[in-house]
Structure 1
Amino acid sequence: MKIETRLFIAGAPLFLLAAAVYAIWTYNTPQGWEPVGTLCILLVGAMVFMVGFYLMLTAKRIDERPEDSPTAEIADGAGDQGVYAPWSWWPLAIAGSSALTFLAMAAGWWILGIAIPLGIIALVGWVFEFSRGQHAH
């Protein structure tokens, strides 16, 4: 996770620089300084830094991955990469509720009243798909 950590943490100052350039550039326009865009670019920089910080903390807790070793072979990365359910329908339900959410922005906000409950049900279903309860055998 070293590469990813360095990539994200090094990317955060670039967004700070971009925000400064954007602020100066929009200040010289006839409309004046545009604070919303500047704030958005600053927040993107903060989010990029948070992802890098999370990856740094995660890298300290796990063993070195084959991707981090310069002497690793391709076969070192073989094996299970996680638990995935190829038969699950929940990702499709989440995608549908996301599509309804974006449709609400274009067609009418009342659609959010349908999209948000469906999204919550789909997310809970996906998270607890393999849960069999506290007293399962």
Structure 2
Amino acid sequence: MRASAKIFWILGVFFLIVAIAYGFVTGTYEPHGIETVGFPAILALSGLGFMIAMALTLAYRKNSINPSDDLDAEVSREAGVQGSFSPYSWAPLWASLGAALCFLGVAAGWWIFAFGIMFAIYGVLSWVLEFSIGQHAH
């Protein structure tokens, strides 16, 4: 985790420097001032890098050393449960279909967007409540 945190700190600083340079260059040479899409997007990318770096840094401080941080660690130390995933889940399909219909609806027609919202809500709710109801209920 420590190496990952360092990588994201470096990425956050890099994108902040790029955003400042991009804002300066577009503010100087564009007739309408600072470009209104790229500059905030690169700033948001920098903020995302800093948020991930902060989360990884806090997780590293809270938990013990990770096998990826130990140079002499064996591969088998990383073995074990990596997460809890439900088998045979249809929820990601419905959520992604809803997202695709929403994006299509913005371009083609708002009535398609409404169907996309319905599919997306069903998919996300069934994904979240997957372990509460049905075959894999706890």
Equivalent runs, 1:62-73 vs 2, <5 Å: 62-73=63-74
4+ residue segments displaced more than 4 Å: none
Deviations along 1:50-81, whole A, 9 cap, x unmatched? 11111222223333221121111111112221
Equivalent runs, 1:56-135 vs 2, <5 Å: 56-132=57-133
Question: What are structure 2's unaligned runs of at least 5 residues?
Answer: none
Q: Does 1:17 align with 2:17?
A: yes
Q: How many residues align?
A: 134
User: Could you tell me which amino acid in structure 1 is paired with residue 11 of structure 2?
Assistant: G
Distance 1:75 1:119 in 2: 39
What corresponds to 1:3 in structure 2?
3
User: Could you tell me which amino acid in structure 1 is paired with residue 2 of structure 2?
Assistant: K
Residues 1:48 and 1:110: Cα distance change in structure 2 (over 3 Å): farther
Are the equivalent residues in 2 in contact too, given 1:104–1:112 (CA < 8 A)? yes
Distance 1:10 1:113 in 2: 41
Residues 1:110 and 1:79: Cα distance change in structure 2 (over 3 Å): same
Distance 2:113 2:21 in 1: 37
Give the TM-score normalised by structure 1: 0.84
User: Could you tell me which amino acid in structure 2 is paired with residue 104 of structure 1?
Assistant: G
Are the equivalent residues in 2 in contact too, given 1:26–1:32 (CA < 8 A)? no
User: Could you tell me which amino acid in structure 2 is paired with residue 94 of structure 1?
Assistant: A
Question: What are structure 1's unaligned runs of at least 5 residues?
Answer: none
Identity percentage of aligned residues: 34
Residues 1:22 and 1:109: Cα distance change in structure 2 (over 3 Å): farther
Q: Does 1:40 align with 2:48?
A: no
Distance 2:62 2:117 in 1: 35
Give the C-alpha shift of residue 47 in structure 1. 1.6
What SS is found at the alignment partner of 2:115?
Answer: helix
Give the C-alpha shift of residue 90 in structure 1. 0.7
